[in-house]
Amino acid sequence: MKCHKFNRDRSFAAKFNRITKSHKKLRYMIGTNRSRLLDSCYFESQTWGALYKAWKGYIIAKNKCEFDRRYHYAEVIQKLQKELGLPISLFLDLGLVPKCPNRNPSEEFDREMQKEQNYNPSEEFDREMQREQNS
């Protein structure tokens, strides 16, 4: 009985050809603006692939009741979703809630004031600038 594992060409030339082919695909994607480089120095397409694999691993770990792996994959999923700019999934059963590092307290205050009193800081700034110009 033959196995696909042993039929592969394992020579250096075969490995070099596979790597070269992979680099050619990446260069094509960059050259035609079909993929963008993210902050993690990975391309968007690579990150989507990692997100798909992370969800698959999470589902398998959930079916096998492996809490450690579920937690690991949930963290990875949240990190990748944040990097891609997607809405971050909640994993309440694991106690993972997305963190908001970019929260600006002054912006929150402005939003609350707008809701309560129809206050708009940009309008107030414009009024002050007009007063200064008229003076």
pLDDT digits (tens, 9 = 90+) for 4-63: 666 666 677 777 787 888 788 778 877 777 777 788 888 888 899 999 999 999 999 999
110 pLDDT higher than 70: no
Listed by start position, the domains of the chain span: 11-97, 104-135
| 3-state secondary structure string across the chain | CCCHHHHCCCCHHHHHHHHHHHHHHHHHHHHCCCCCECCCCCEHHHHHHHHHHHHHHHHHHHHCCCHHHHHHHHHHHHHHHHHHCCCCCCEHHHCECCCCCCCCHHHHHHHHHHHHHCCCHHHHHHHHHHHHHHC
Q: pTM for the full model?
A: 0.57
